[in-house]
Amino acid sequence: MALRWKGGLKDRDVTDEAIWLNRRQLLGGSAGLALAGLAGGVRADTALEPNSWEEITSYNNYYEFGTGKDDPARHAGALTISPWSVKIDGLVDRPGEYAFEDILAQMTLEERIYRFRCVEAWSMVVPWTGFELADLLDLAGVQSSAKYVAFETVLNRDEMPGTAYRVLDWPYVEGLRLDEATHPLTIMATGVYGRDIPKQNGAPLRLVVPWKYGFKSIKSVVRITLTEDEPPTSWNKANAREYGFYSNVNPEVDHPRWSQATERRIGGGLFAKREPTLMFNGYEEEVASLYAGMDLGKFF
Amino acid sequence: MIADRINRLARRVPNWTLYILCPLPALWYLWLGLTGGLGVEPIKALEHALGELALQLLIAVLCISPLRKHAGVNLLKFRRALGLIAFLYVTLHLLVWLLLDVQIPAQIWADIVKRPYITVGMAAFVLLIPLALTSNNLSLRRLGGKRWRQLHKLTYGAVLLGGLHYVMLAKGFQIEPLIYLAAILGLLALRLPTLGSPGRARQRG
């Protein structure tokens, strides 16, 4: 269980990024072996070189703060994230407001280095800190009739200049099927590079579903609702032809707006080459079974 | 009067200053892109900056005849230079898309055919080609003033398609591209016979 630690990380515990990267190099191959056993067989790909802190925190889609890629970093500072609580309701045994600190105290924080693939055909590799969503759902006790998990982003219009325009139907909502939500790869991230997650990246608590396009990984979550029916999702409501409920990364299913066959890794400069996109963003081995028998061209 | 003062100033500014000054932002953005000044994803940033400048220049071209007709400001002598520089920006925007963004030749044609906002943008570029090729005195003489003017009404279509291209590529409901499109529609509406009130200058529109 290398690179796994208990909660309670604060700003003062931050490791300098250069030292952090260096440490990864020192661990080398043995870390790869150790990580292979992480969290019950979930593979963390050590061949992935994470993007820099600057890249991860300066190039964001968070339309509540504006539609430009640099708008979130510029405007998200105004967002109040303390106190923070998440309302968990719907088909759960223990519905209620869960304070962020209380959640953290009961979760096991882990480092997960995941590919991050945006539907706009760019990608990054992000070293998240977070815990498995399944653990959080256990806290609330999912009832057997629940089939889906709905999520909602905070909507604080005074602090979110982008919401002055109805770019999307605010608040931002997303959803997963229950088996997707409880998959060990699905985490709620609270940090990047071992530091608290920046506001433009969805502080204090965001979903990360690494085999789906980035917009499924809803930011600054304030509500989680267990439902029997497929919940509405923001981009699907805005344009159902372009954005399906599943939105799995799939190089073979073309998006009407962008070809998904290739992607460009952020950070390569003006002459960065396109790279082929991997099925399920490289997590095919882990998640393909979730969609056995489904026509992914239809359920895109 | 302000219009007279502008007209006097315009007479003193030679056309070549436009050909020197207007391409400078393109060089500036290229420099920024090469030196990290356009953020961590410089390709899209450069593509968007050039496209937006192209659209702004095309809108400036559309402003020239209404300014003369309705405000008495005569900037007609700059129209050809602005049009050609706009074409330069559209071409650079296209080149960045082709060479830096899409990169894969097989995907270029597929994108043009498959993705409506690219089809529309490409159509705008194609409409501009004959205009750029005939923006010289020789062509004007060869074609004759009337035919030349008829041909150059393609500008209206090209700018409209350019504005539409911007609206279509925006994700979600965004205000900025709609403002551009509204400006374009407004400027085109001024060309309608019923709105172009002072009949004197109409045929020169």
Reported as a single tens digit per residue, the pLDDT across B41-96 is 999 999 999 999 999 999 999 999 999 999 999 999 999 999 999 999 999 999 99
Q: Measured between CA atoms, how close is A153 to chain B, in angstroms?
A: 17
Tokens 């998904």 sit at which residue? A260
Q: Measured between CA atoms, how close is A75 to chain B, in angstroms?
A: 16
B115 with A262: Cβ contact below 8 A: no
Q: Does the structure show a pLDDT above 70 at B198?
A: no
**Residue ranges of domains in chain A:** 49-241
- At A110 the three-state DSSP class reads strand
CATH of A49-241, one of 3.40.50.720, 3.10.560.10, 3.50.50.60, 3.90.420.10: 3.90.420.10
Q: Which residues contact B204 (CB under 8 A, 6 or more apart)?
A: B65
Angle at B93 between CA B91 and CA B96, to 5 degrees: 105
Q: What is the pLDDT of residue A22?
A: 55
Chain A residue nearest residue B29, CA to CA = A270
Question: Which of A60, A200, A218, A195 is CA-nearest to residue A130?
Answer: A195
A3: left (phi over 0), alpha (psi -120 to 50) or beta: left
> Around B121, how many Cα atoms within 13 Å sit in the side-chain half-sphere?
25
If you count residue pairs, one on A and one on B, with CB atoms under 8 Å apart, how many are there? 62
Kindly state the tokens that stand for B41: 């994803």
Q: What's the average model confidence in pLDDT over B163-191?
A: 96
Q: Which residues contact B136 (CB under 8 A, 6 or more apart)?
A: none
Sign of CA dihedral A154, A156, A162, A168: positive
Sign of CA dihedral B39, B40, B41, B42: positive
Reported as a single tens digit per residue, the pLDDT across A42-93 is 444 447 899 999 999 999 999 999 999 999 999 999 999 999 999 999 999 9
Q: Which H/E stretch holds residue A55? A: helix A53-58
Q: Which band of pLDDT confidence, cut at 50, 70 and 90, is reported for residue B155?
A: very high
Report how far residue A290's alpha carbon sits from residue A180's, in angstroms, rounded to the nearest whole number: 7
Contact A176, A209 (CB under 8 A): yes
Global ipTM: 0.86
A171 prior amide bond cis, ω within 30: yes
CB atoms within 10 A of CB A145: 10
A86 forms beta bridges with A98
Kindly state the tokens that stand for A239: 């344009």
B42: contact with A, CB 8 A cutoff: yes
Angle at A108 between CA A105 and CA A112, to 5 degrees: 135
Q: What's the average model confidence in pLDDT over A168-195?
A: 98
Q: Does the structure show a pLDDT above 60 at A283?
A: yes
Question: How many residues would you count in chain B?
Answer: 205
Who among B34, B115, B174 is closest to A257 (CB)? B115
- At B68 the three-state DSSP class reads helix
B105: contact with A, CB 8 A cutoff: no
As a dihedral over the C-alpha atoms of residue B140, residue B142, residue B146, residue B151, rounded to 10 degrees, the angle is: -70
Angle at A50 between CA A47 and CA A55, to 5 degrees: 155
Kindly state the tokens that stand for B37: 């000044």
Entry pTM: 0.86
